[in-house]
Protein backbone atom coordinates (compact mmCIF):
# COMPACT_ATOMS: atom_id res chain seq x y z
CA UNK A 1 0.00 0.00 0.00
CA UNK A 2 1.40 3.38 -0.94
CA UNK A 3 1.68 5.97 1.85
CA UNK A 4 -1.07 8.54 2.07
CA UNK A 5 0.02 12.00 1.07
CA UNK A 6 -0.23 14.58 3.80
CA UNK A 7 -2.73 17.39 3.42
CA UNK A 8 -1.54 20.62 1.91
CA UNK A 9 -0.27 23.32 4.22
CA UNK A 10 -1.65 26.78 3.61
CA UNK A 11 0.73 29.67 4.27
CA UNK A 12 -0.30 33.31 4.57
CA UNK A 13 2.60 35.29 3.09
CA UNK A 14 1.90 39.00 2.98
CA UNK A 15 -1.49 39.28 1.36
CA UNK A 16 -1.00 36.03 -0.59
CA UNK A 17 -2.14 32.51 0.21
CA UNK A 18 0.26 29.78 -0.89
CA UNK A 19 -0.65 26.09 -0.79
CA UNK A 20 2.25 23.71 -0.09
CA UNK A 21 1.37 20.26 -1.36
CA UNK A 22 2.63 17.20 0.53
CA UNK A 23 4.46 19.37 3.11
CA UNK A 24 5.76 16.41 5.13
CA UNK A 25 7.58 14.84 2.20
CA UNK A 26 11.24 14.36 3.19
CA UNK A 27 13.41 16.14 0.64
CA UNK A 28 16.77 15.78 2.41
CA UNK A 29 16.85 12.50 4.38
CA UNK A 30 20.28 13.07 5.97
CA UNK A 31 19.34 16.25 7.92
CA UNK A 32 15.65 15.28 7.92
CA UNK A 33 14.36 18.31 6.04
CA UNK A 34 10.84 18.19 4.64
CA UNK A 35 9.35 20.14 1.78
CA UNK A 36 7.74 22.53 4.26
CA UNK A 37 11.10 22.97 6.01
CA UNK A 38 12.60 23.96 2.66
CA UNK A 39 9.85 26.52 2.03
CA UNK A 40 10.29 27.94 5.53
CA UNK A 41 14.04 28.20 4.96
CA UNK A 42 13.51 30.32 1.86
CA UNK A 43 11.01 32.51 3.67
CA UNK A 44 13.49 33.00 6.52
CA UNK A 45 16.24 34.18 4.15
CA UNK A 46 13.84 35.83 1.69
CA UNK A 47 15.48 39.23 1.97
CA UNK A 48 18.76 37.80 0.66
CA UNK A 49 17.27 35.26 -1.74
CA UNK A 50 15.07 37.90 -3.39
CA UNK A 51 18.09 40.14 -3.83
CA UNK A 52 19.41 37.47 -6.19
CA UNK A 53 16.22 36.59 -8.06
CA UNK A 54 13.60 39.34 -7.76
CA UNK A 55 12.47 40.70 -11.10
CA UNK A 56 14.52 38.17 -13.09
CA UNK A 57 13.08 35.49 -15.41
CA UNK A 58 13.82 32.06 -13.99
CA UNK A 59 14.28 28.58 -15.40
CA UNK A 60 12.43 26.15 -13.12
CA UNK A 61 14.79 23.31 -12.18
CA UNK A 62 12.37 20.80 -10.70
CA UNK A 63 13.36 17.83 -8.56
CA UNK A 64 9.97 16.15 -8.62
CA UNK A 65 11.46 12.72 -7.79
CA UNK A 66 13.76 13.90 -5.03
CA UNK A 67 17.43 14.84 -4.86
CA UNK A 68 18.61 11.34 -5.81
CA UNK A 69 17.07 11.68 -9.28
CA UNK A 70 17.95 14.08 -12.08
CA UNK A 71 16.01 17.34 -12.19
CA UNK A 72 14.22 18.47 -15.30
CA UNK A 73 14.41 22.03 -16.60
CA UNK A 74 11.18 23.84 -17.31
CA UNK A 75 11.51 27.12 -19.14
CA UNK A 76 7.83 27.77 -19.64
CA UNK A 77 5.72 28.93 -16.71
CA UNK A 78 3.03 26.41 -15.75
CA UNK A 79 -0.30 27.21 -17.35
CA UNK A 80 -2.04 26.67 -14.02
CA UNK A 81 -0.61 29.36 -11.76
CA UNK A 82 -1.93 32.09 -9.49
CA UNK A 83 -2.80 35.36 -11.18
CA UNK A 84 -0.17 37.14 -9.07
CA UNK A 85 2.73 35.13 -10.53
CA UNK A 86 4.50 37.43 -12.98
CA UNK A 87 6.11 36.24 -16.25
CA UNK A 88 8.34 37.52 -19.05
CA UNK A 89 8.76 36.17 -22.58
CA UNK A 90 12.35 35.37 -23.55
CA UNK A 91 13.59 34.79 -27.11
CA UNK A 92 16.16 32.01 -27.39
CA UNK A 93 19.02 31.58 -29.85
CA UNK A 94 17.21 28.57 -31.30
CA UNK A 95 14.43 30.89 -32.47
CA UNK A 96 12.01 29.57 -29.85
CA UNK A 97 10.50 31.66 -27.10
CA UNK A 98 9.30 30.89 -23.60
CA UNK A 99 7.14 32.69 -21.08
CA UNK A 100 9.19 32.26 -17.89
CA UNK A 101 8.31 32.82 -14.26
CA UNK A 102 9.46 36.07 -12.66
CA UNK A 103 9.61 35.97 -8.87
CA UNK A 104 8.74 39.32 -7.30
CA UNK A 105 8.09 38.57 -3.64
CA UNK A 106 8.33 35.97 -0.87
CA UNK A 107 4.99 34.39 -1.81
CA UNK A 108 6.24 33.71 -5.35
CA UNK A 109 9.44 32.31 -3.86
CA UNK A 110 7.42 29.82 -1.81
CA UNK A 111 5.30 28.97 -4.84
CA UNK A 112 8.28 27.95 -7.02
CA UNK A 113 9.79 25.91 -4.19
CA UNK A 114 6.47 24.06 -3.91
CA UNK A 115 6.90 23.05 -7.57
CA UNK A 116 10.04 21.12 -6.61
CA UNK A 117 12.60 23.86 -7.26
CA UNK A 118 15.33 23.21 -4.70
CA UNK A 119 17.73 25.79 -6.13
CA UNK A 120 16.85 29.00 -7.95
CA UNK A 121 18.17 29.68 -11.45
CA UNK A 122 17.53 33.25 -12.65
CA UNK A 123 18.81 34.91 -15.80
CA UNK A 124 21.25 37.86 -15.43
CA UNK A 125 18.65 40.31 -16.77
CA UNK A 126 15.61 42.05 -15.35
CA UNK A 127 12.17 41.42 -16.84
CA UNK A 128 11.98 45.11 -17.79
CA UNK A 129 15.07 44.85 -20.04
CA UNK A 130 15.75 41.38 -21.38
CA UNK A 131 18.56 42.40 -23.75
CA UNK A 132 20.99 44.09 -21.35
CA UNK A 133 22.35 42.10 -18.39
CA UNK A 134 22.89 43.96 -15.12
CA UNK A 135 25.12 41.24 -13.68
CA UNK A 136 28.47 39.78 -14.72
CA UNK A 137 28.99 36.28 -13.33
CA UNK A 138 31.96 33.93 -13.15
CA UNK A 139 31.98 30.43 -11.74
CA UNK A 140 35.34 29.28 -10.39
CA UNK A 141 35.09 25.64 -11.36
CA UNK A 142 37.90 23.32 -10.20
CA UNK A 143 39.20 20.49 -12.33
CA UNK A 144 39.63 17.09 -10.61
CA UNK A 145 42.66 17.06 -8.33
CA UNK A 146 42.33 20.75 -7.40
CA UNK A 147 42.28 21.51 -3.67
CA UNK A 148 39.88 24.04 -2.11
CA UNK A 149 42.79 26.31 -1.18
CA UNK A 150 43.55 26.84 -4.87
CA UNK A 151 39.94 27.87 -5.58
CA UNK A 152 40.16 30.42 -2.76
CA UNK A 153 43.41 31.83 -4.14
CA UNK A 154 41.85 32.24 -7.59
CA UNK A 155 38.81 33.95 -6.07
CA UNK A 156 41.03 36.53 -4.41
CA UNK A 157 42.81 37.20 -7.71
CA UNK A 158 39.46 37.57 -9.49
CA UNK A 159 38.51 40.18 -6.90
CA UNK A 160 41.78 42.01 -7.56
CA UNK A 161 41.18 42.05 -11.33
CA UNK A 162 37.61 43.33 -10.89
CA UNK A 163 38.77 46.06 -8.52
CA UNK A 164 41.55 47.10 -10.90
CA UNK A 165 38.93 47.52 -13.63
CA UNK A 166 36.42 49.52 -11.62
CA UNK A 167 34.05 46.76 -10.53
CA UNK A 168 33.04 45.41 -7.13
CA UNK A 169 33.16 41.63 -6.77
CA UNK A 170 30.64 39.82 -4.57
CA UNK A 171 31.65 36.25 -3.62
CA UNK A 172 29.51 33.32 -2.63
CA UNK A 173 30.07 29.62 -2.31
CA UNK A 174 28.50 27.79 -5.23
CA UNK A 175 27.06 25.25 -2.83
CA UNK A 176 28.83 22.60 -4.87
CA UNK A 177 32.57 22.48 -5.69
CA UNK A 178 33.46 26.08 -6.41
CA UNK A 179 32.99 29.77 -5.75
CA UNK A 180 30.86 32.26 -7.68
CA UNK A 181 31.91 35.88 -8.06
CA UNK A 182 29.30 38.39 -9.26
CA UNK A 183 29.60 42.03 -10.22
CA UNK A 184 26.60 44.31 -10.70
CA UNK A 185 26.91 46.31 -13.91
CA UNK A 186 24.98 49.10 -15.52
CA UNK A 187 22.53 47.58 -18.06
CA UNK A 188 24.20 49.26 -21.05
CA UNK A 189 25.85 46.30 -22.79
CA UNK A 190 24.37 43.36 -24.66
CA UNK A 191 25.04 39.68 -23.93
CA UNK A 192 27.90 39.46 -26.43
CA UNK A 193 29.74 42.37 -24.81
CA UNK A 194 29.13 41.11 -21.27
CA UNK A 195 30.44 37.66 -22.19
CA UNK A 196 33.50 39.26 -23.81
CA UNK A 197 34.14 41.26 -20.63
CA UNK A 198 33.83 38.09 -18.54
CA UNK A 199 36.16 36.19 -20.86
CA UNK A 200 38.65 39.04 -20.57
CA UNK A 201 38.41 38.87 -16.80
CA UNK A 202 39.13 35.13 -17.00
CA UNK A 203 42.13 35.65 -19.29
CA UNK A 204 43.57 38.28 -16.97
CA UNK A 205 43.10 36.03 -13.93
CA UNK A 206 44.93 33.28 -15.83
CA UNK A 207 47.73 35.71 -16.75
CA UNK A 208 48.17 36.70 -13.10
CA UNK A 209 47.92 33.14 -11.79
CA UNK A 210 49.44 30.82 -14.42
CA UNK A 211 49.01 27.19 -13.47
CA UNK A 212 46.43 28.03 -10.81
CA UNK A 213 43.67 29.40 -13.06
CA UNK A 214 42.71 28.90 -16.68
CA UNK A 215 40.45 30.57 -19.22
CA UNK A 216 40.78 27.65 -21.67
CA UNK A 217 37.35 26.74 -22.91
CA UNK A 218 38.17 23.15 -23.87
CA UNK A 219 38.16 21.01 -20.77
CA UNK A 220 40.93 18.64 -21.82
CA UNK A 221 43.37 21.55 -22.08
CA UNK A 222 42.92 22.88 -18.54
CA UNK A 223 45.02 20.49 -16.47
CA UNK A 224 44.74 20.68 -12.68
CA UNK A 225 43.57 24.27 -12.56
CA UNK A 226 40.52 26.34 -11.69
CA UNK A 227 38.47 27.20 -14.75
CA UNK A 228 37.21 30.79 -14.62
CA UNK A 229 33.94 29.96 -16.34
CA UNK A 230 32.98 33.06 -18.29
CA UNK A 231 30.34 31.32 -20.40
CA UNK A 232 27.83 31.74 -17.58
CA UNK A 233 27.29 35.13 -19.25
CA UNK A 234 26.12 33.66 -22.55
CA UNK A 235 22.50 34.29 -23.40
CA UNK A 236 20.16 31.57 -22.10
CA UNK A 237 22.56 30.54 -19.30
CA UNK A 238 21.47 30.58 -15.68
CA UNK A 239 23.35 30.05 -12.40
CA UNK A 240 22.16 28.94 -8.96
CA UNK A 241 21.55 32.21 -7.13
CA UNK A 242 22.41 33.42 -3.64
CA UNK A 243 20.88 31.33 -0.83
CA UNK A 244 19.98 28.53 -3.24
CA UNK A 245 19.91 25.12 -1.61
CA UNK A 246 21.80 22.56 -3.67
CA UNK A 247 20.65 18.99 -4.21
CA UNK A 248 23.41 17.45 -2.10
CA UNK A 249 22.78 15.12 0.86
CA UNK A 250 23.76 17.71 3.50
CA UNK A 251 21.46 20.44 2.04
CA UNK A 252 24.36 22.74 1.26
CA UNK A 253 23.63 26.39 0.44
CA UNK A 254 25.17 28.80 -2.07
CA UNK A 255 26.09 31.41 0.53
CA UNK A 256 27.20 35.05 0.10
CA UNK A 257 30.39 35.90 1.99
CA UNK A 258 32.40 38.90 3.06
CA UNK A 259 35.77 38.91 1.31
CA UNK A 260 37.61 38.54 4.60
CA UNK A 261 35.71 35.26 5.15
CA UNK A 262 36.76 33.74 1.83
CA UNK A 263 40.30 32.59 2.80
CA UNK A 264 39.01 30.54 5.72
CA UNK A 265 35.65 29.35 4.39
CA UNK A 266 34.68 25.74 3.70
CA UNK A 267 31.62 24.97 1.53
CA UNK A 268 30.39 22.22 3.83
CA UNK A 269 29.99 24.75 6.66
CA UNK A 270 27.00 26.36 4.93
CA UNK A 271 23.85 24.27 5.09
CA UNK A 272 20.15 25.05 5.48
CA UNK A 273 20.40 24.85 9.27
CA UNK A 274 23.62 26.83 9.67
CA UNK A 275 22.66 29.50 7.14
CA UNK A 276 19.38 30.18 8.98
CA UNK A 277 21.43 30.93 12.10
CA UNK A 278 24.02 32.90 10.16
CA UNK A 279 21.36 35.02 8.45
CA UNK A 280 19.69 35.79 11.78
CA UNK A 281 23.03 36.79 13.31
CA UNK A 282 24.54 38.90 10.56
CA UNK A 283 22.04 39.41 7.73
CA UNK A 284 23.12 39.31 4.10
CA UNK A 285 26.77 40.14 3.28
CA UNK A 286 25.63 41.05 -0.24
CA UNK A 287 23.08 43.61 0.95
CA UNK A 288 24.94 46.41 -0.87
CA UNK A 289 25.18 44.71 -4.25
CA UNK A 290 22.40 46.73 -5.90
CA UNK A 291 24.15 49.99 -5.00
CA UNK A 292 27.43 48.94 -6.63
CA UNK A 293 26.63 48.83 -10.35
CA UNK A 294 29.76 49.55 -12.37
CA UNK A 295 31.01 49.98 -15.92
CA UNK A 296 32.49 47.40 -18.33
CA UNK A 297 34.51 50.02 -20.17
CA UNK A 298 37.83 49.07 -18.56
CA UNK A 299 37.42 45.33 -19.16
CA UNK A 300 36.34 45.91 -22.75
CA UNK A 301 39.37 48.16 -23.27
CA UNK A 302 41.55 45.34 -21.94
CA UNK A 303 39.83 42.99 -24.41
CA UNK A 304 40.94 45.27 -27.23
CA UNK A 305 44.47 45.30 -25.85
CA UNK A 306 44.68 41.52 -25.51
CA UNK A 307 43.12 40.80 -28.89
CA UNK A 308 40.94 37.77 -29.69
CA UNK A 309 41.45 34.63 -27.65
CA UNK A 310 43.28 31.83 -29.41
CA UNK A 311 40.94 29.62 -31.43
CA UNK A 312 41.36 25.84 -31.68
CA UNK A 313 42.21 24.28 -35.06
CA UNK A 314 39.39 23.10 -37.30
CA UNK A 315 38.78 19.48 -38.17
CA UNK A 316 40.08 18.36 -41.55
CA UNK A 317 36.81 16.58 -42.42
CA UNK A 318 35.18 19.76 -43.70
CA UNK A 319 32.56 19.78 -40.96
CA UNK A 320 33.76 23.04 -39.46
CA UNK A 321 34.05 21.40 -36.03
CA UNK A 322 37.13 22.05 -33.96
CA UNK A 323 39.91 19.50 -33.78
CA UNK A 324 41.07 18.71 -30.27
CA UNK A 325 44.75 19.16 -29.60
CA UNK A 326 44.59 16.30 -27.09
CA UNK A 327 44.29 12.53 -27.65
CA UNK A 328 40.75 11.88 -26.45
CA UNK A 329 38.60 8.76 -26.34
CA UNK A 330 34.93 8.95 -25.52
CA UNK A 331 33.69 6.37 -23.03
CA UNK A 332 30.01 6.98 -22.36
CA UNK A 333 26.93 9.05 -23.08
CA UNK A 334 24.37 8.29 -20.41
CA UNK A 335 21.03 9.45 -19.11
CA UNK A 336 22.33 9.57 -15.53
CA UNK A 337 25.71 10.13 -13.91
CA UNK A 338 25.77 6.73 -12.15
CA UNK A 339 25.20 4.98 -15.50
CA UNK A 340 28.04 6.97 -17.06
CA UNK A 341 30.41 6.19 -14.17
CA UNK A 342 29.54 2.49 -14.35
CA UNK A 343 30.55 2.59 -18.01
CA UNK A 344 33.82 4.26 -17.05
CA UNK A 345 34.57 1.52 -14.52
CA UNK A 346 34.00 -1.15 -17.18
CA UNK A 347 36.42 0.65 -19.49
CA UNK A 348 38.99 0.95 -16.69
CA UNK A 349 38.77 -2.75 -15.92
CA UNK A 350 39.83 -3.50 -19.51
CA UNK A 351 42.70 -1.00 -19.49
CA UNK A 352 44.39 -1.28 -16.05
CA UNK A 353 47.80 -0.32 -17.43
CA UNK A 354 46.39 2.87 -18.93
CA UNK A 355 44.53 3.77 -15.74
CA UNK A 356 47.80 3.79 -13.76
CA UNK A 357 49.14 6.54 -16.01
CA UNK A 358 46.14 8.87 -15.83
CA UNK A 359 46.10 12.07 -13.78
CA UNK A 360 42.84 13.07 -12.00
CA UNK A 361 42.15 15.81 -14.57
CA UNK A 362 42.46 13.34 -17.45
CA UNK A 363 39.02 11.87 -16.74
CA UNK A 364 36.49 14.35 -18.11
CA UNK A 365 32.94 14.04 -16.76
CA UNK A 366 30.56 16.53 -18.34
CA UNK A 367 26.98 17.29 -17.39
CA UNK A 368 25.41 18.23 -20.71
CA UNK A 369 22.16 20.18 -21.03
CA UNK A 370 19.57 18.29 -23.04
CA UNK A 371 16.17 19.53 -24.17
CA UNK A 372 14.75 19.43 -20.64
CA UNK A 373 17.27 17.61 -18.45
CA UNK A 374 20.95 16.84 -18.04
CA UNK A 375 22.75 13.92 -19.63
CA UNK A 376 26.31 12.83 -18.96
CA UNK A 377 29.35 12.36 -21.19
CA UNK A 378 32.65 10.82 -20.11
CA UNK A 379 35.88 11.17 -22.07
CA UNK A 380 39.46 10.24 -21.20
CA UNK A 381 42.47 12.35 -22.15
CA UNK A 382 45.36 10.04 -22.97
CA UNK A 383 48.02 12.76 -22.93
CA UNK A 384 50.00 11.02 -20.17
CA UNK A 385 49.88 7.63 -21.90
CA UNK A 386 52.69 6.78 -24.36
CA UNK A 387 51.32 6.92 -27.89
CA UNK A 388 51.91 3.22 -28.58
CA UNK A 389 49.95 2.26 -25.45
CA UNK A 390 46.89 4.40 -26.11
CA UNK A 391 43.66 2.46 -26.68
CA UNK A 392 41.72 3.39 -29.79
CA UNK A 393 38.21 4.81 -29.81
CA UNK A 394 35.83 1.91 -29.36
CA UNK A 395 32.09 1.41 -29.12
CA UNK A 396 30.72 3.48 -26.24
CA UNK A 397 30.19 1.69 -22.93
CA UNK A 398 26.85 3.52 -22.66
CA UNK A 399 25.34 5.05 -25.79
CA UNK A 400 22.38 7.22 -24.84
CA UNK A 401 21.06 9.57 -27.52
CA UNK A 402 19.70 12.63 -25.69
CA UNK A 403 18.20 13.97 -28.91
CA UNK A 404 16.35 10.84 -30.01
CA UNK A 405 13.09 11.98 -31.55
CA UNK A 406 14.01 15.64 -30.96
CA UNK A 407 15.92 18.33 -32.79
CA UNK A 408 19.36 19.07 -31.29
CA UNK A 409 20.21 22.71 -30.60
CA UNK A 410 21.54 24.70 -33.53
CA UNK A 411 23.80 26.93 -31.43
Is 92 among the domain residues?
no
- The per-residue pLDDT for 411 is 38
403 burial (CB, 10 Å; 0-12 / 13-18 / 19+) is: exposed
DSSP H helices in 307-351? 337-350
Q: Per residue in 356-384, is it b (16+ CB within 10 Å) or e — as a string?
A: eebeebbbbbeeeebeebbbbbbbbbbbe
End-to-end CA distance of the chain: 48
Report yes or no on 238 lying in a domain.
no
Asked if residues 99 and 87 have their Cβ atoms less than 8 Å apart, the reply is yes
Q: Is residue 373 part of a domain?
A: yes
Provide the pLDDT for residue 3: 43
Please compute, for residue 380, the number of CA atoms within 13 A of its CA located in the half-sphere on the CB side: 27
Is 265 a domain residue?
no
Q: Three-class SS of residue 57? A: strand
Q: What is the pLDDT of residues 8-49, one digit of tens each?
A: 899 999 999 999 999 999 999 999 999 999 999 999 999 999
Q: Answer yes or no: is 339 within a domain.
A: yes
**CA distance linking residue 168 with residue 128, whole number of Å:** 24
Q: What is the CA radius of gyration of the chain?
A: 22
Query: Which secondary-structure segment (H or E) carries 208?
Result: helix 191-208
Going by C-alpha positions, the residue among 119, 370, 60 that lies closest to residue 248 is 119
3-class secondary-structure state, position 12 = strand
Q: How many CA atoms does the CB half-sphere of 263 hold within 13 Å?
A: 3
Cβ count near 386 (within 10 Å): 9
Separation CA 205–CA 159 (nearest Å): 9
Mean pLDDT of the chain: 91
Q: Is residue 374 part of a domain?
A: yes
Q: For residue 372, what are the domain limits?
A: 328-399
How many structural domains are present in the chain? Answer: 1
pLDDT at 116: 95
pLDDT for the residue 388: 93
Positions of the chain with pLDDT lower than 50, given as ranges? 1-4, 410-411
**Beta-carbon contacts of residue 79 (< 8 Å; ≥ 6 apart):** none
In-domain check, residue 60: no
Amino acid sequence: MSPTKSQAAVLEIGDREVHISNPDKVVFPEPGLTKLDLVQYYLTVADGALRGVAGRPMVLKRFVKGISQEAFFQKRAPEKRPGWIDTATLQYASGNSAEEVVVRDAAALAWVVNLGCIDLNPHPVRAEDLDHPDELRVDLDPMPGVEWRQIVDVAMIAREVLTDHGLVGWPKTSGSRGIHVYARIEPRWDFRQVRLAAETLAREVERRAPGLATAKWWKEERGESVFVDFNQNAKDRTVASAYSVRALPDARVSTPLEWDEVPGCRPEDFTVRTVIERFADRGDPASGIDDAAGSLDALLALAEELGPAEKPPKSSDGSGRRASTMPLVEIARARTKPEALEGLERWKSRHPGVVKLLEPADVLVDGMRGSSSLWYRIRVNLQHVPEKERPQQAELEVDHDPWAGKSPPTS
